[in-house]
């Protein structure tokens, strides 16, 4: 099972999200791991203390892709995936790259197993209230759940699941479940 996390912009949250989702799936008893396709090797470096999260033999592979839409690696990751997750911040500055990412995905495959996942969301802000509108402008069906902006997520990629509060664990768990549900 291959799930690819894509966005042409660096800083969108691909690596963080792929790692968090891998952790949540493992907590739920599924053998999931991140496959680091970015030449910058961010996931590999962040996970140096959690090598099990990089297990290339795990049946569920979460592909962390480089922020370059012209890259053959990204095209391959989109084509070979069972599901594609376009990761985006809700900010208007990220809209254009997310639209370009959506256009690339729709050029390469049918969109039925592609979803938009917002991350770095601050609840009760204008941007958080406008997620549905932003998703429409990006042109990809959004998951019904998203990830908030939480400092704990930055710690968890280095320190593991235990760095998360119960509330944060539940949020990531809901996102992981929503992603897996797309495949069924
Ligand atoms: N939900 C989040 N809450 C807080 N910080 C986040 C969140 N997602 C990503 N970040 C931070 O934003 C920055 C970019 O995230 P990253 O996952 O490296 O993006 P990408 O892989 O798309 O370049 C990193 O510093 C990361 O710690
Ligand atoms: Mg990255």
Cα R_g (the chain), whole angstroms: 15
Q: Atom 10 of ligand 1 has which residue's CA nearest to it?
A: 13
Q: What is the CATH number of domain 2-182?
A: 3.40.50.300
Q: Looking at ligand 1, which atom is closest to the CA of residue 147?
A: 1
Q: Count of H helices and E strands in the chain?
A: 8, 5
Return the ligand number nearest the Cα of 19: 1
Tell me how far the alpha carbon of residue 154 lies from the centroid of ligand 1, in angstroms. 7
Q: Do residues 88 and 7 make contact, with C-beta atoms less than 8 angstroms apart?
A: yes
pTM for this one? 0.98
User: Tell me: the pLDDT tens digits for 29-83?
Assistant: 999 999 999 999 999 999 999 999 999 999 999 999 999 999 999 999 999 999 9
Cα 62 to middle of ligand 2, angstroms: 12
Q: Write out the H or E segment, with its range, that includes residue 11.
A: none
CA 137 / ligand 2 centre spacing (Å): 24
Instruction: Report the pLDDT value the prediction gives residue 184, as an integer from 0 to 100.
Output: 87
Token pair in block for residue 99: 């639209």
Whether the pLDDT of residue 138 is over 90: the answer is: yes
Nearest CA to ligand 1 atom 16: 13
Closest CA to 4 of 117, 156, 131: 117
Residues with CB under 6 A from ligand 1: 7, 10-16, 42, 67, 119-120, 147, 149-150, 153-154
């Amino acid at each position: 099972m291959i799930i690819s996390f894509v966005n042409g912009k660096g800083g969108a949250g691909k690596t963080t999200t792929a790692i968090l989702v891998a952790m949540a799936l493992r907590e739920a008893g599924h053998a999931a791991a991140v496959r680091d396709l970015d030449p910058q090797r961010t996931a590999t470096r962040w996970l140096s203390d959690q090598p099990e999260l990089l297990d290339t033999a795990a049946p569920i592979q979460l592909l962390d892709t480089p922020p370059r839409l012209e890259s053959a690696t990204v095209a391959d990751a989109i084509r070979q995936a069972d599901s594609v997750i376009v990761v985006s911040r809700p900010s208007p500055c990220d809209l254009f790259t997310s639209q370009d990412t959506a256009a690339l995905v729709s050029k390469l495959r049918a969109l039925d197993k592609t979803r938009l996942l917002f991350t770095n969301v601050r609840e009760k802000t204008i941007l958080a209230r406008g997620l549905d509108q932003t998703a429409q402008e990006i042109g990809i069906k959004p998951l019904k759940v998203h990830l908030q902006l939480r400092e704990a997520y930055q710690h968890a990629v280095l320190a593991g699941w235990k760095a998360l509060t119960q509330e944060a664990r539940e949020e990531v768990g809901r996102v992981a479940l929503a992603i897996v549900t797309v495949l069924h």
